[in-house]
Structure 1
Amino acid sequence: MSEKAGATLHMIDLIRKKRDGLVLDAREIGFIVAGTASESIPLEQLSAWLMAAWINGLTIEETRALALAMRDSGEKFDPSRLGKQAVDKHSTGGVGDKTSFLVAPLAAACGVAVPMISGRALGHTGGTLDKLDSIPGFRSALTLAEFEAVLQQCGAAIVSQTPRLVPADRVLYALRDRTGTVECPGLICASILSKKLAAGLNALVLDVKTGSGAFLRKRADAEFLAALMVATAEGAGTHTVALMTDMSQPLGRTAGNWIEVAECVELLHGLVPVGSEDLRELSLRLAGWMIHLGGRTETAEQGYWAAAGALADGTALKVFLEMVKAQEGDLTVFDDLKASHKPGATLVLEAWKTGYVSQMDTMELGWAVQRLGAGREKAGEPVDPHAGIDFHARRGARVEKGQPFATLYATNETMLAEPVDRIKRAIALSDEPPEEVPLVSHVFARENAERYLQDTSSS
């Protein structure tokens, strides 16, 4: 062992090293992560290191080392006993982004195991677990043994992170939120991938949002993050692709909790309500890639058509209902979707003038949904399962003054006024229709992701 390899490490030295723009090796990154998980490194030192990393950035090697060290900081799930390839999907977050309820049963119906570890709403984006909580009795906090049992039975399970899964990430993420160091590509990448890699995935499909409702609103920032995540996950042995997808308007026609679940159940029944076409199409594309990377088809296009078949013949719906039942959800709520929706207050917002819906500030619309009671400003706050917005007009549609534009559902009537104002500010109505925006604008796989990163670093 070399002197350097065996030298005693001190956190203050690693802070200085990163502060000065130098690169940490895997052993040094591992020391930081181990100290984070064991709580042996003071929070003020971790905060200082995070700020140094935010200012100077993390190299691809540092990012990969951080993701792997955080993956190994706690317990991990082993899907090998399932007898199938384990594939998951992760979205960088958006408004009305409910594809998990479709892609998980679609991929599972086509022979792929989908161990999906999801999160809750914070800020303007919705949370998968909050939406599932709108199903009475549904239990997302499963042990790893229970997680495996549901996967064996149904092929798919959507659960919350266990207390012992990637504990270092929970500490660092909370610190990043409090120290203004969230928007760092390397830290974002390592945080996301550490949880996905801890699930033992064989493959991963990333849905990276672009546009006004995306977490990273600049196209170049979103592209860099997508390429970085693909290259990092591939380097860790997980086949990964990233689809750059449009978030210049809410996905589908609903944004909230129960109403998003209900929209997905309608699609699983084979219906295609007006305004849900993009949700159906994107879900089939994401599921197609999952099925392909899971080894069930030779191409993603063949995976798309396999998913379409599972949607048409009802097998995906069967998987979804079996999963909900296995996780103790009450299936009777799906007998009458409208009757199961019980908002505290309802308001139909009429179009305030005639014109084409030419632009949507989707982040502002997400805040409108949050203010109705469907989201939270701080972790741990309760959400209203029945609050949200049903949009009756999409981007590019022509509306006449006085026609219904959106239906708002709030916890109570006093919570309706601010969201109405936000919607009016967020929507631009013009004399001419807008240019069409592609639903999927680019796909990063390993080769073009690594090439993109090389070109970016040399420019």
Structure 2
Amino acid sequence: MTKAQRIHPIDVILHKRDGLALTDAEIRAFILAIVERTPRKHLVTDAQIAAFLMAVFLRGLDPRELATLTAAMRFSGEVAYTEALNTFTIDKHSTGGVGDKTSLLIAPIIAAAGLAQPTPEGVPGICVPMISGRSLGHTGGTLDKLETIPGFNTQLSFPDMRDVLRECGAALIGQTPTIVPADRILYALRDHTGTVESPFLITASIMSKKLAEGLKALVLDVKVGSGAFMPTYEKSKFLAQLMVQTGEASETRTVALLTSMDEPLGRFSGNWVEVWECVDIMQGKRHPMSSDLIELSNILSGWMLHLAGHATTPEEGAELSDDILKSGAAYKAWLKIIATQGGDTTVFEDPASHHKPNATRVLKATQSGYLAAMDCKQVGWAVQRLGAGRAKPGDPVSAHAGIESHAKLGDRIEPGQPLFTLYSEDSALLDEPEQMLRETLQVSSSLVPRRPLVREVITKNNIQ
């Protein structure tokens, strides 16, 4: 860029503040200035980045601006170049919830499907390069769950990730400092400037990391309900539409499912306990409390198999997914992924024995009726207070803290019936979460209809 063409950060801020559409050059220059900063080279200050974030928060971005911002962030660091594998790369992303461990089932399901039909080069026919995050706030994090597996390495470079994909069909890794560094910088300031909830900034953050994987398709699980990150159904739907629009603009087939998060998904919420639940399912042990988890995992996998051309419809894909689970092929793929990334697979021989909380308490029903409602976000905070989550980035998490659900919304309950079992590594941490759970549970004398697990599907063809 010549001196005459230089774009000043303050001009970008003023243009967006005044409601003008930013040019592609302005957006790219601003993101480049962020990632090229050094202690001696202040191309843009923290104050200017904060002002930019607030301008976007207040004014929003049009589809072109959002696509350009996402692309600039995507290419701000390393990208996976999974195209070199000559296979169909696809991933799934969830906006986060309580007990949401579908990734632990979906990755081996899709890997098993890909291993069953390899390419002529011997690479699995479908590959899942899954970059996951850690728990923050009331939501759990896939990386924290995976890192309860002794020896499992989530900090792989992209070349190492490609080797795992070539061998296993799926790789489960975390974001490194060189992957989408612009997002790391922007997110840290969003947390301090009241701009975290911007759907435009959320979309750019999520999609830049996912698209850096070199995907051909992406399935999004956007939560709605009391445990969702977005406060209303309408705002969750708007976020889903933005992400689909942005994915399609990058030539990645993108579908979003709006799914219910009014109660914890599955039987367990925590870290190791969620791994245990998924291993049980892959080993053919289907606990009644896990039925919603199995259903949602099959629905999401079904869409992935459909987009990859392994099923003519998502429904057919869901049936194929369940067949893969029941056959044991997903469990075999899981063991291969874990071993290849350095994990000790012997812990899966008896996952229950690996669960070692120091303190346990059972919360029981005090009246008869039907379990009618709960604030799922408060349930998530209860799990966090038991030690399973973190209040801020960098906090340690407990492998064995969490809760076990013994009833689902709509179930008939009686006095003395267990509703939750609380687990912690410190008995002093049990009282507050127990009170939080008691306060949020609502019991009704009449049956309350259950909401469907999938509320709506958003594709490029039905964006309003």
TM-score, structure 2 as length reference: 0.95
Q: Does 1:219 align with 2:222?
A: no
Which whole-Å CA distance do the structure 1 matches of 2:403 and 2:89 have between them? 34
Report the counterpart of residue 381 of structure 1 in structure 2.
395
Which whole-Å CA distance do the structure 1 matches of 2:82 and 2:208 have between them? 16
Which whole-Å CA distance do the structure 2 matches of 1:252 and 1:243 have between them? 18
Which whole-Å CA distance do the structure 2 matches of 1:356 and 1:301 have between them? 32
Report the counterpart of residue 68 of structure 1 in structure 2.
71
Aligned mate of 1:201, from 206, 209, 215? 215
TM-aligned CA deviation for residue 239 of structure 1: 0.3
Which whole-Å CA distance do the structure 1 matches of 2:172 and 2:371 have between them? 35
Report the counterpart of residue 143 of structure 1 in structure 2.
157
Which whole-Å CA distance do the structure 2 matches of 1:145 and 1:387 have between them? 34
Aligned mate of 1:56, from 53, 56, 59? 59
Report if aligned partners of 1:60, 1:186 keep a CA contact under 8 Å in 2.
no
- Counterpart of 1:276 in 2: which secondary structure? helix
Q: Does 1:340 align with 2:354?
A: yes
Residue range with higher mean Cα deviation, 33-42 or 355-364: 33-42
Which whole-Å CA distance do the structure 2 matches of 1:222 and 1:328 have between them? 37
- Counterpart of 1:231 in 2: which secondary structure? helix
**Counterpart of 1:189 in structure 2: which amino acid?**
T
Aligned mate of 2:102, from 94, 99, 102? 99
> Gapped runs of 5+ residues in structure 2?
38-42, 115-125
**Counterpart of 1:134 in structure 2: which amino acid?**
T
Report the counterpart of residue 137 of structure 2 in structure 1.
123
Report the counterpart of residue 19 of structure 2 in structure 1.
21
Residue range with higher mean Cα deviation, 5-14 or 403-412: 5-14
Could you give the per-residue CA deviations for residues 379-414 of structure 1, whole angstroms, max 9, x where no partner exists?
011000000000101111111111111110012110
Report the counterpart of residue 38 of structure 1 in structure 2.
36
TM-aligned CA deviation for residue 271 of structure 1: 2.1
Which whole-Å CA distance do the structure 1 matches of 2:72 and 2:4 have between them? 18
TM-aligned CA deviation for residue 82 of structure 1: 2.5
TM-aligned CA deviation for residue 7 of structure 1: 3.4
Report if aligned partners of 1:88, 1:201 keep a CA contact under 8 Å in 2.
yes
Q: Tell me the number of residue pairs that the alignment of Structure 1 and Structure 2 aligns.
A: 448
Q: Does 1:114 align with 2:128?
A: yes
- Counterpart of 2:346 in 1: which secondary structure? helix
Which whole-Å CA distance do the structure 2 matches of 1:99 and 1:303 have between them? 16
**Counterpart of 2:171 in structure 1: which amino acid?**
A
Which whole-Å CA distance do the structure 2 matches of 1:368 and 1:185 have between them? 27
TM-score, structure 1 as length reference: 0.96
Report if aligned partners of 2:80, 2:159 keep a CA contact under 8 Å in 1.
no
Report if aligned partners of 1:85, 1:295 keep a CA contact under 8 Å in 2.
no
> Gapped runs of 5+ residues in structure 1?
453-459
**Counterpart of 1:7 in structure 2: which amino acid?**
Q
TM-aligned CA deviation for residue 6 of structure 1: 6.4
Aligned mate of 1:9, from 7, 14, 17? 7
Aligned-CA RMSD value: 1.4
Which whole-Å CA distance do the structure 1 matches of 2:57 and 2:327 have between them? 49
Which whole-Å CA distance do the structure 2 matches of 1:210 and 1:217 have between them? 8
Percent of residue pairs bearing the same amino acid type: 51
